[in-house]
Amino acid sequence: MTLLRIDSSARRKNSKTRMLTDFFMNELNKKNEQTVISRDVGIYPPNFPTDDFIKANYTPETVRTSKMKEILEPSDILIQELIDADKIIIASPMYNFSISATLKAYIDNIVRVGQTFAIDKNGAMQGLLGGKKVVVITSRGAMSYKLGGALQPFDFQTSYLTKLFNFLGITDIIFVNTEGQDFGEEPLKTSNLEQSKQELSELAKTW
């Protein structure tokens, strides 16, 4: 069982997503042995796509120059980690109603035709990462993104990540969302965190 952990908070300390993901990993370790790959894109952001990257990516593999291969290498490494993983945990802070730019940069590196999705002659696309399981652990500063909440229409984080992973062929996606971590009042702020820990403990028993 290989587990890929991806952190994407810019915070080095007091990051709620890092803390909750540490907690979940600890709960999982209680259950069984796993090979863990850790990728911290919040602290070590992947490259943004450049003109050279796009040209190299869109050049068929068999005719790529050694320079093109070199340009694609960091992306190849990220894709290989993803292919090797049976389970993926993503720690995702909400930034401006969506994901962090560093997580988006990661996604721009791992969504590649022929590697993580395929297109047939008619233009129909198919994800190539089927069978993997994903848990996304989010934290938000404000309250009420949950169903029926005032900010629910602004939650582009869960909708985007769900569609993105669906596109890559992954349908088993579970979100554990913690709200009110910057602007929430106590005791709600702490009880929201505790609630998420409880959800993660339960999830660790079956995931």
What is the C-alpha to C-alpha distance for residues 79 and 48, in angstroms, rounded to an integer?
15
Closest CA to 88 of 41, 125, 53: 41
Residue in 142, 162, 167, 201 binding ligand FMN, rule: CB under 6 A: 142
Q: Identify whether the C-beta of residue 56 lies closer than 8 Å to the C-beta of residue 126.
A: no
How many residues belong to the chain? 207
Residue in 93, 109, 177, 199 binding ligand FMN, rule: CB under 6 A: 93
CA atoms within 13 A on the CB side of 87: 16
- Residue 110, SS3 per DSSP: helix
Nearer to ligand FMN among residue 141 and residue 169 (C-beta):
141
9 binds ligand FMN (CB under 6 A): yes
Amino acid at 135: V
Residue in 109, 140, 176, 199 binding ligand FMN, rule: CB under 6 A: 140
Q: How far is the CB of 58 from ligand FMN (least distance, A)?
A: 32
Structure tokens given for 192: 């929201």
> Which range binds ligand FMN by CB under 6 A, 15-23, 27-35, 78-86, 128-136?
15-23
Nearer to ligand FMN among residue 39 and residue 132 (C-beta):
39
Enumerate residues 6+ apart whose C-beta is below 8 A from 21.
Answer: 5, 7, 89, 91, 137
16 binds ligand FMN (CB under 6 A): yes
> Which range binds ligand FMN by CB under 6 A, 13-21, 49-57, 107-115, 122-130?
13-21
Q: Identify whether the C-beta of residue 174 lies closer than 8 Å to the C-beta of residue 203.
A: yes
Q: How far is the CB of 127 from ligand FMN (least distance, A)?
A: 28
Q: How far is the CB of 17 from ligand FMN (least distance, A)?
A: 3
177 binds ligand FMN (CB under 6 A): no
Residue count at the site for ligand FMN (CB under 6 A)?
A: 17
Q: Are strands 125-127 and 117-119 parallel, antiparallel or unpaired?
A: antiparallel
Give the interface with ligand FMN as residue ranges (CB under 6 A).
9, 11, 15-18, 93-97, 139-142, 181-182
